[in-house]
Structure 1
């Protein structure tokens, strides 16, 4: 788990929500506060899963190359909210891997519904639609994503986007690697919503290399 960037997204605190859950699942979790971890090829190849939790910031070309090559070789990639899909705005090739990029959150913190759309998928199976009180992410997304949950916008500050159905949770394949993302998780307290926490836990386990 590589954390840093904008502190408003509580990168260390949100990483600390999922580190023990991954440990409970049998993983040895390494926490790093530097993107130079991506430069260590042996370290990256020893990983089953990389969890970026780094809102905004700049990734250097060689750092991005190390991460991309790891995923393409089969290392999983999984994350949440801005820590994964509002990271490294300078790196379009990184955005191609993740399958989406944050572009706005009309109305800021608000109440909204998350609708489970792939009800038979094991990542979301048995989880009903649920409510969030947080940022509702408006995103540019890859049409190749396998979408598992969506949300519908009703935006007072941008009424022209009202009615837009936006992916919230998706998974995809990049090279030999599995990629999972959820736009939930603005701050650690968002994971007091058990449905959001369980989807993220299952998604990270799915993405991890066997």
Structure 2
């Protein structure tokens, strides 16, 4: 049997530790029969011949930029059946200047609310670490990615995401109202979603600010299951 090929694309903002974060999942991919290719920029997306051989893309590129040809190459590969997945800013806060990319993934990070003002320390990442719950939706309770995963709590960045109705939301998180924030009612934001694009499957998981968060049993289970679910299927070949 021909091995499946996973392309890891990593880079962008160093604060999300793209190398360390993606290395967490290399053994899982190898155990599941993937040949792994690693690229440090999205330039490979513009190479149609190379992309045609990829069954799964794992992207971890926060912010940064991708050229028009690169984004359109990524879109074409997913439309033809290549799976796309990632976590946190590596997929939900990539290539902010590209509306074509944002349409593909279906959600864009806009903020992670902070702690109380009296707890803030200038420049500290922990300013945005909150205790919050990831709640599995009714769809998520019967989806192969999240089935059997109970609601769980994290202490890390809680992503507020702008999104659209093409997403199938498997888990959500709720941003409460607080006296120091300007919104007037709780905001429910997707925390895990899937998206069908042509013959391809996309999975986005918003927790994952550090490798330690990625090692949380529920987060890791969701990401690993999502990798297998997103991978090119026989009908997409």
Q: TM-score, normalised by structure 1?
A: 0.96
Structure 1, unmatched stretches of 5+, are none
Q: Verify: 1:187 aligned to 2:210, yes or no.
A: yes
* Alignment gaps of 5+ in structure 2: 1-7, 115-127
Whole-angstrom CA distance in 2 between matches of 1:9 and 1:116 = 25
Query: 1:33 is matched with which residue?
Result: 40
Q: How does 1:160-175 map to 2 (within 5 A)?
A: 160=183, 162-175=185-198
Q: How many residues align?
A: 210
Equivalent residues in 2 for 1:83-122 (5 A)? Answer: 83-107=90-114, 108-117=128-137, 118-122=140-144
For residue 192 of structure 1, report the CA deviation from its aligned partner. Answer: 2.6
Which range moved further: 184-193 or 98-107?
A: 184-193
Q: Find the structure with the greater CA-based Rg.
A: 2
User: Could you say which residue in structure 1 is the equivalent of 2:53?
Assistant: 46
Deviations 1:67-86 (A, max 9, x none): 11111111111111000010
Q: Secondary structure at the match of 1:179?
A: strand
Structure 1 residue aligned with 2:66: 59
CA RMSD of aligned residues (A): 1.2
**Quick one: distance in 2 between partners of 1:33 and 1:205?**
23
CA separation of 1:46 and 1:116: change in aligned 2, threshold 3 A: same
Q: Does 1:125 align with 2:147?
A: yes
TM-score, length-scaled by structure 2: 0.86
Aligned pair 1:201/2:224, yes or no? yes
Shift of 1:154: 2.1
Matched position secondary structure for 1:30: strand
| C-alpha distance in structure 1 between counterparts of 2:230 and 2:214, whole Å | 19
Runs of 4+ in 1 over 6 A off after TM superposition: none
CA change 1:67–1:196 in 2 (3 A) is same
Of the three residues 152, 156, 159, the one matched with 1:134 is 156
CA contact (8 A) 1:55 1:86 kept: yes
Give the corresponding residue for 1:81.
88
Q: 1:5 aligns with which of 5, 12, 24?
A: 12
Tell me how far 1:161 sits from its aligned partner: 5.6
SS in 2 for 1:22: helix
Match of 2:201 among 178, 186, 194: 178
